[in-house]
A and B are shown apart, each in its own frame.
Chain A
Amino acid sequence: MRSSVIIFPGSNCDRDMDVALKKYGFKNHMIWHNDITLPKCDLVVLPGGFSYGDYLRCGSIAGKSKIIQSVIDFAKSGGLVLGICNGFQILTETGLLPGVLQQNKYLNFICRNVHVKVNDKKNKYFKDISKDILELHIAHNEGNYFCSEEELKVIEDNNQIALTYCNSDGSNNKDSNPNGALKNIAGIFNKEKNVLGMMPHPERMIDKYLSGQDGSVFFENLIRNSK
């Protein structure tokens, strides 16, 4: 399986993602933001970080970068596009995903482990995943998902909510919501479910000496399904 990780100026989880993808068997390429075309691949990842310094709005400048049209075309042709953290913000800026990511409710950057519930398994990311609740790590200042009532209705009708923040037992409530996200949303799909944006960083949880191992569950499942 081949993957491509896009490096924007200010990306800082690009290497971590490269390490994780390779660990689980992807043949990964790093792609510079000024390139125009993508190499042939099965998965494109927009990594976390502060692309273009988060200036103007998180993800907005990256959403207009040279490489992005190829990413949009790839997504529209059905290719898998995964955006983590800043990558999620970029995907909302390109219009591939609905909604926006606002500043966290309590106005602080948050770096901690959270639990998320897998909401839909009829997609290539979570099909047959061995766990319904994953313990993952978040590290962001703008992860407070928001969209209009009309958009939310469409999202819910199409089962586009991918992950929701929850307690360790899977219950969703205000206490398990770290950043004020609407409906505890931690990740969403596009309608076709080939594009996924999520705030948690699975690439930081890929062995038992790190914060946890549920990132491994995510990647192992992803490579199995993208074959």
Chain B
Amino acid sequence: MEVNEQVAIDHGLTKEEFKKINDLLKRTPNLTELAIFSAMWNEHCSYKSSRKHLKNLHTKGSKVIQGPGENAGVIDIGDEDAIVFKIESHNHPSFIEPYQGAATGVGGIMRDVFTMGARPIANLNSIHFGSTQHRKTKNLLRGVVKGIGGYGNCIGVPTIAGQTNFDESYNGNILVNAMTLGLVNKKKIFYSKAAGLNKPVIYVGSKTGRDGIHGASMASAIFDDKIEEKKPTVQVGDPFTEKLLLEACLELMKQDSIISIQDMGAAGLTSSSVEMASKGKLGIELDLSKVPCREDKMSPYEIMLSESQERMLIVLENGKEQKAKEIFDKWNLDFAVIGKTTKTNKLELIFNNKKVAEIPIDFLAENAPVYDRKWKKSKLPQKINYPKQIFKSLKLESCLLKIISNPNICEKKWIWEQYDHTVMGDTIQKPGGDAGVVRVHGTNKAVAACVDSSAIYCFAHPLTGGKQVVCESWRNLISVGSKPIAITNCLNFGNPEKEKNMGEFVECVNGISEAAKYLDYPVVSGNVSFYNETKDKGIKPTPSIGGVGLLKDYRNMLSMDLKKEESIVLVIGKTEGHLDQSVFSRTILLENKGPPPEINLFNEKNNGETVLKLAKENYILSCHDVSVGGILIALSKMCIKGNKGLKLNSNIKLHNKFSYFFSEDQGRYLIEIEKKNLEKVTEILKQNSVHFEELGIVIKDKLQFKDELNISINDISKKYKSWLKDYMVN
């Protein structure tokens, strides 16, 4: 096939990019070379629209061992231990084929983590679907949940937390973001940078098939009506093989034979080989006839672009091949020496004794295009003035019941009961809490993790939204008694070629960075997913933030269930009554305009750190952050989980009870303390200039407020627990 501009365009490259390739090579590439360029230069692999702005992210900190740029980020958790973690999107494939798309998303992120020598110890996910009324939503949700479970359950890694949201902006583009945490010895971390000449390049894992060809280019394009035709570009996962690959790799890593290792993810053999060589400033020569193939007569083009799953590329020390092969034989996995490192600084491909491609590595990596795309700044929307009379006909109880059964607030047990969340025997906080917590096996330490997004806020004002989602993550980790350490971000956005979408991206990133810096909560890994757009309709800007925190002693973990009758519940942080963009405004007042709640980073940090101080002194019986839905929703969840009630103080200072109970002001927590400790706790809060109010007293089984609210916890619980189950079963 003759390569020309049209062929390049069909491969997702632009005219200008094709010209640049010709100029760099000083010739026209052949088809295989063109395909390699298209794979390396697409948005998914090259970050060409985002790179300029990602540089602004706050990525440094005393606990950071490895920041962005590797397979995953690494943080120090004391002693010899480090946590490797990352979140990644698998949005486009999951919309086309929900089960396999979600499953391979989980598989891919786990490989990123064990590639670095870490044993995965926890999985999380953030999934976003279209309106619950949309005809595709139920099937997509069912398929995605089955896919996530199907993969994670089989590998035997607990899925400990997650987040599910519904919004019509995802009708044509669902989001599936998967996150994995792994545990590694600080001194035994493996990196992808190749080193040394004439070192054998090894292929291990599954055989290469024709699945997933052009997967990375698909993830860099917008959807149209013919999206179903893209099914063949979705990879098919085999968790069983991944489990074997995990065990085999960890076994090989115990020997001193690996120089560098890289999993074959997006753009398969192409990106893994180029990345290793590029980081090591080396060349790499591969004999494609030696690649184990699943199908007959695969061409170099297909072999280089295949996204078959469960494969790894390893650069070994010379002479270690035989011992390494024995391990992979034991686990029944393919093992082939397919090439070597060279001093040419080129990617050279041989097939049937003929050279089929020759490209300087720099052209693919460093010379990949970087775009400074135009973007538009968002204005902070005007605050809404709610006329007093609109609250007149409202009743607290009916508002509470309506909000607690809102799809974005109700219990998600139908989902997480399908995930094995207890395998490995160290899960001490299950899904459904503020964060999942797993013990660091054999120690007193535990790691907390959560994943959050706030697309509503980000859409209303991206800069505030970006800050808010980092703060929310920080708060969730504090609520389980852990010290937040670092985050990973999955940046899901629309079409970067549109100024509005690009602006949302830039400002969300700036917001994330500002909050991350202030809170000393750096970003250590992540990915960007652009082009979440179907037929001109883009998603709301949705950065998902995965947070990781540390508990030095797991016995001090906090949970949200109310513990004891007669104890006191305090609200930490000030309630200003910000209703704009709240669930209350959107679902009860049917108002979706206005700015998101303001972020005050000083208060955020101070309130959080003070809560941790109280936890350290063992004053806190239970703790929950106040997020979407406001105080009354947060309180109801604490009551439901603890199977207790609460009598709210009748003398709470209210300007408007609805804005007090349902506003979504930031930086707030509810804590339960013993009555006898009230004085001491009050003193600590005052010393630290933390605003707080006494909310009420824990009672048996009712939620009461003056003569305006008197409802049994059982009735709230039924509403909270039934919505999703009823939706999925009926």
Chain B contacts with A in 358-413, Cβ cutoff 8 A:
none
User: Known: A19-B425, A203-B425, A209-B555. Is A139-B420 also a contact (CB below 8 A)?
Assistant: yes
- Distance in angstroms between the alpha carbons of A21 and B421 in the assembled complex: 21
- Distance in angstroms between the alpha carbons of A29 and B696 in the assembled complex: 55
Interface string of A17-34 (1 = CB under 8 A from B): 001100000000000000
- List B contacts of A13 (CB < 8 A): 156, 423
- Distance in angstroms between the alpha carbons of A137 and B422 in the assembled complex: 8
Q: How many A-B residue pairs have CB under 8 A?
A: 87
Interface string of A191-207 (1 = CB under 8 A from B): 00000000001011010
B332: nearest chain-A partner, CB-CB: A9
- List B contacts of A10 (CB < 8 A): 154, 240, 243-244
The 8 Å CB contact of B420, one of A52, A109, A203, is A109
| Most interface-central of B156, B244, B430 (chain A CB within 10 A) | B156
- List A contacts of B241 (CB < 8 A): 53
- Distance in angstroms between the alpha carbons of A210 and B555 in the assembled complex: 11
B431: nearest chain-A partner, CB-CB: A111
Whether A52 and B240, one on each chain, are in contact in the complex, defined by CB atoms closer than 8 angstroms, is: yes
Whether A111 and B239, one on each chain, are in contact in the complex, defined by CB atoms closer than 8 angstroms, is: no
Whether B425 and A210, one on each chain, are in contact in the complex, defined by CB atoms closer than 8 angstroms, is: yes
Is B233 interfacial (CB 8 A cutoff)? no
Is A211 interfacial (CB 8 A cutoff)? yes
A206: nearest chain-B partner, CB-CB: B425
A204: nearest chain-B partner, CB-CB: B422
- List A contacts of B228 (CB < 8 A): none
Is A66 interfacial (CB 8 A cutoff)? no
Whether A111 and B418, one on each chain, are in contact in the complex, defined by CB atoms closer than 8 angstroms, is: yes
- Distance in angstroms between the alpha carbons of A49 and B420 in the assembled complex: 11
Chain B nearest CB from A31 CB (Å) reads 14
Whether B154 and A53, one on each chain, are in contact in the complex, defined by CB atoms closer than 8 angstroms, is: yes
Interface string of A38-70 (1 = CB under 8 A from B): 000000000011101111000000000000000
Whether A53 and B240, one on each chain, are in contact in the complex, defined by CB atoms closer than 8 angstroms, is: yes
B142: nearest chain-A partner, CB-CB: A108
User: Known: A10-B154, A55-B240, A109-B418. Is A139-B423 also a contact (CB below 8 A)?
Assistant: yes
The 8 Å CB contact of B239, one of A9, A16, A19, A53, is A53
- List B contacts of A139 (CB < 8 A): 153, 420, 422-423
Whether B425 and A9, one on each chain, are in contact in the complex, defined by CB atoms closer than 8 angstroms, is: no
B333: nearest chain-A partner, CB-CB: A9
User: Known: A12-B156, A53-B154, A209-B555. Is A111-B419 also a contact (CB below 8 A)?
Assistant: yes
Is B665 interfacial (CB 8 A cutoff)? no
- Distance in angstroms between the alpha carbons of A3 and B83 in the assembled complex: 33
Interface string of B409-451 (1 = CB under 8 A from A): 0000000111111111111101000000001000000000000
Is A121 interfacial (CB 8 A cutoff)? no
Whether B149 and A109, one on each chain, are in contact in the complex, defined by CB atoms closer than 8 angstroms, is: yes
How many B residues touch the partner, as a band? 20 to 34
Is B41 interfacial (CB 8 A cutoff)? no
- Distance in angstroms between the alpha carbons of A215 and B312 in the assembled complex: 39
Is A182 interfacial (CB 8 A cutoff)? no
Whether B417 and A110, one on each chain, are in contact in the complex, defined by CB atoms closer than 8 angstroms, is: yes
Is A15 interfacial (CB 8 A cutoff)? yes
Interface string of A140-182 (1 = CB under 8 A from B): 0100000000000000000000000000000000000000000
The 8 Å CB contact of A112, one of B331, B417, B428, is B417
- Distance in angstroms between the alpha carbons of A128 and B699 in the assembled complex: 40
A113: nearest chain-B partner, CB-CB: B422
Whether A111 and B422, one on each chain, are in contact in the complex, defined by CB atoms closer than 8 angstroms, is: yes
Whether B424 and A15, one on each chain, are in contact in the complex, defined by CB atoms closer than 8 angstroms, is: yes
- List A contacts of B425 (CB < 8 A): 15-16, 19-20, 203-204, 206, 210
Whether A12 and B423, one on each chain, are in contact in the complex, defined by CB atoms closer than 8 angstroms, is: yes
- List B contacts of A49 (CB < 8 A): 156
Whether A50 and B240, one on each chain, are in contact in the complex, defined by CB atoms closer than 8 angstroms, is: yes
Whether A16 and B423, one on each chain, are in contact in the complex, defined by CB atoms closer than 8 angstroms, is: yes
- Distance in angstroms between the alpha carbons of A10 and B417 in the assembled complex: 21
The 8 Å CB contact of A12, one of B149, B243, B331, B332, is B243
Interface string of B224-262 (1 = CB under 8 A from A): 000000000000001111011000000000000000000
Is B662 interfacial (CB 8 A cutoff)? no
| Most interface-central of A13, A109, A141, A206 (chain B CB within 10 A) | A109
Chain B nearest CB from A7 CB (Å) reads 9
Whether A50 and B239, one on each chain, are in contact in the complex, defined by CB atoms closer than 8 angstroms, is: yes
Is B140 interfacial (CB 8 A cutoff)? no
Whether A111 and B421, one on each chain, are in contact in the complex, defined by CB atoms closer than 8 angstroms, is: yes
- List B contacts of A9 (CB < 8 A): 240, 243-244, 331-332
Apart from the given pairs A111-B422, A210-B426, 17 other A-B contacts in the complex at a CB distance below 8 Å: A12-B155, A50-B153, A50-B154, A52-B240, A54-B154, A108-B418, A109-B150, A109-B153, A111-B153, A139-B420, A139-B423, A209-B554, A209-B555, A210-B422, A210-B425, A211-B427, A211-B430
Q: Top 6 closest A-B pairs, CB basis?
A: A12-B156, A53-B240, A16-B425, A139-B420, A50-B154, A209-B428
16 sampled A-B residue pairs with Cβ under 8 A:
A9-B240, A12-B155, A15-B424, A19-B425, A49-B156, A53-B154, A53-B239, A53-B241, A54-B154, A110-B417, A111-B420, A111-B422, A139-B423, A203-B425, A209-B557, A210-B428
